[in-house]
Structure 1
Amino acid sequence: MVDENQRDERETQLVPINSLLPADSPRLAGESVDHTELLAHTDAALPPILVHRRTMRVVDGMHRLRAALRRGQDVIAVRFFDGGEQDAFVAAVEANIAHGLPLTLADREAAASRIIRSHPWWSDRAIAAVTGLAAATVRTIRGRTGTDDAPEEISRLGRDGRVRPLNGAVGRLAASAIIAERPDAPLREIAKAAGISPTTARDVRERMRRGDDPVPPRQRPGGDTGPEDPAPGRPAAVGHGWADRSAPARDGAGAAEGREKAAILRGLRNDPSLRFTESGRALLRWLWPRVTGPEGWEDIVLTIPPHCTYLVADLARRCADEWLTFAEEMEQQARSMA
């Protein structure tokens, strides 16, 4: 989320180590002596550290700096950061999420709390992307972090740089108006016009088709603030894990979904226009590994390291959005051909 123009992309510079100040680190427990020793004894060249130009304070790379001192170096390779001090802390969190010694869950939550205070206009998803947390976790932290003298927010800056209304009901109502006027409008177009995600636009359209209110109960004035019912076939989130895997309703929905996908694939395989053409066979080969889905996720989710959990979840959501775009393009093509 830190603006790329705040980073100086010129060549790395060699800077005297004694001219640098310690980092404003997001690590609550401080530096790891063991990690410093590991870096000091490696033969590989270490990446340059990131330094805030105005203050000469290390933004990212204290372990590499300590390792350089252990090696007896007087200078170290540096890239400079040109933003403000608050943005420098955000850059430090981003860098530590992306590489090196992972931040603990406590480190990430503390960093999120600090970023909420320094960048209150950022959306929950934007802060989640920086800290490697779930947006729901950031939302909870924001609820604990709010100050009485903070100005009332009516919008927030998202990860894509767009400003969106804080109340999701506004975007949903705008989308419902567009859908009522143009029922076959592409989801991406609806989402862009209403300032919501394509997934939300799809949910609004499905609600309208069922005759439901496009705004979920928890987003209505005076409505329930608890979690909304999960989408059909999707497990409900509980804390940092998933709902009980033995729940019959979820298992039944998952089994039905699997049977439906298998039936669709069988129908496609039996279609002569696909079976007996090279392009058709290529389509079937492309579809098969992608349609089977993340089978066995119930076991895999228990093996993912805690610091990777939210990154994997974000990756899954991005894949879901890409499939949604693909489905919308197919439907649009079918309508144009008809």
Structure 2
Amino acid sequence: MVVEVEITSLSTADSPRISGIDQEHVEALAVVQSPLPPITVHRSTMRVIDGLHRLRAAELRGQRKIAVKFFDGDTADAFVLAVESNVTHGLPLTTADRKRAAGRIIASHPQWSDRMIASVSGIAPGTVAEIRRRAPAEQAGTAGRVGHDGRVRPLNGTEGRRVASELIAENPQLSLRQIARVASISPETVRDVRNRMMRGEDPLPQRGKRGGGEGVASAPSGGTGPTVVPDRDAGQDRTAVLKRLNADPALRFSETGRTLLRLLNIHTISAEEWDEIIDKAPPHCGRIVAYLANECAEMWAEVAVRVQRKVAETA
């Protein structure tokens, strides 16, 4: 609900912007003829969460009141909303602002995963991880981290894999999701554990091997073993992320950007569609398909590493 409040009753303290407001931006907003969107205010403190420049523009216009949407929550969540709002629209936060904000969110929400904090603060997950490493020990977080999907995953997946392997051995009829919930690991990791057990391998990947991390299966040697299929929730999450990417002008209006979007969109099919593809793959083509799938996985892994490195270098 939008209400009008007295400008003098609002506080502008605790902004995520280190350098304060941009006066040129304020003056540009002040001459806009159409009404500006409501600002967001933390109800309990009356602090402006989002819309400081709009507030200053209203003052410059000589307004006594301004349209406000209230946020009900604690101070830490109000700061998170302030950062997220200023990353997604309006005058963007500087890199220094975003890194500083990420450090503060790590302190207030240590249970959040690096990717979750990165999505809020607008920096790379690797940069968040580096900031977390430099943070005091008490800010490092718990034994698990909360991801985008709200699920808690352990920092060390070894125990989760061990529990999953025991559950699979004792109750092979349990679904991936049931085991994942009990073991506090992702369904993809459960699938990898099950695949390893079916091949007679140790469910715990050896250290230093590619794909030994949480939620990622290692590539079978020779390219003939089963591959890991994304679960339904992961597919839906990728679809939501790609929807945002598809709307990005930097990608939509360049040939290389459109090529990248086409390649990424191929992988948004559901778990059921993957199952159907695998089930209907002709047996005599199985080894070739598995080989090419692993080759593509290797190629995408290299793309991921190089893109993350580039993001980290520019962050």
Q: What TM-score does the superposition give when structure 2 sets the normalisation length?
A: 0.62
How far apart, in 2, do the equivalents of 1:140 and 1:20 lie? 36
1:13 aligns with 2:15: no
Secondary structure, aligned partner of 2:40: strand
| Other-structure match for 2:159 | 170
- The count of corresponding residues between Structure 1 and Structure 2 is 242
State the distance in 2 between where 1:201 and 1:331 align: 21
Whether 1:326 and 2:237 are equivalent positions in the alignment is no
Question: Is residue 211–residue 218 contact of structure 2 (8 Å, CA) maintained in 1?
Answer: no
1:293-325 Cα deviation digits (max 9, x unpaired): x9xxxxxxxx67xxxxxxxx9xx99985x5352
Residue pair 1:23, 1:60 contacting (<8 A) in 2 also:
no
Instruction: Return the match for 1:197 from 157, 180, 186.
Output: 186
Pairwise CA distance, 1:40:
1.8
Q: Which residue of 2 aligns with 1:91?
A: 81
- After TM superposition, give the deviation of residue 127 of structure 1 in Å: 1.8
Specify which of 20, 41, 51 is matched with residue 30 of structure 1: 20
2:111–2:145 contact (8 Å) kept in structure 1: yes
Corresponding position of 1:104: 94
Amino acid at match of 1:26: P
CA deviation after TM superposition for structure 1 residue 212, in Å = 4.4
Distance 1:232 1:159, change over 3 A: closer
2:119 to 129, 140, 145: 129
Distance 1:196-1:139 versus aligned 2 partners, 3 A rule? same
CA–CA separation in structure 2 for the residues paired with 1:189 and 1:160: 16
Where do residues 111-260 of structure 1 align in structure 2 (5 Å cutoff)?
A: 111-147=101-137, 149=138, 153-180=142-169, 187-209=176-198, 211-218=200-207
Equivalent AA in structure 2 for residue 323 of structure 1: I
Structure 1: distance between partners of 2:200 and 2:93: 46
Q: What is the one-letter code of the residue matched to 2:160?
A: G
Contact 2:106 2:139 in 1 (8 A): no
Q: Aligned-pair distance for 1:21? A: 1.0
Could you say if the C-alpha distance between residues 189 and 21 of structure 1 is closer, same or farther in structure 2, counting changes exceeding 3 Å? same
Aligned equivalents of 2:8 and 2:94: distance in 1? 29
String of CA shifts for 1:134-171, please: whole Å, max 9, x gaps: 43332222111133x55873233333333333322222
3-state DSSP of counterpart to 1:140: helix
Rounded Cα–Cα distance in structure 1 between residues aligned with 2:80 and 2:9: 23
Helix, strand or coil for the counterpart of 2:269?
helix
Deviation at 1:328, TM superposition (A): 5.4
1:76 deviates by 0.4
State the TM-score, normalized to the length of structure 1: 0.58
- Secondary structure in 2 matching 1:13: strand
Distance 1:35 1:212 in 2: 61
Contact 1:188 1:325 in 2 (8 A): no
- 1:76 aligns to 2:71 (yes or no): no
What CA distance in whole angstroms lies between the structure 2 residues aligned with 1:225 and 1:113? 31
Could you tell me how far 1:181 is from its partner in structure 2? Answer: 5.1
Per the alignment, do residues 132 and 319 of structure 1 end up closer, same or farther by CA in structure 2, a change over 3 Å counting? farther
Gaps of 5+ in 2: 224-241, 243-249, 252-259, 281-315
Deviation at 1:189, TM superposition (A): 4.5
Match of 1:52 among 23, 37, 42: 42
Superposed CA offset, 1:166-224 (max 9, x none): 32222223333344456686544443443223333344344445554433445xxxxx5
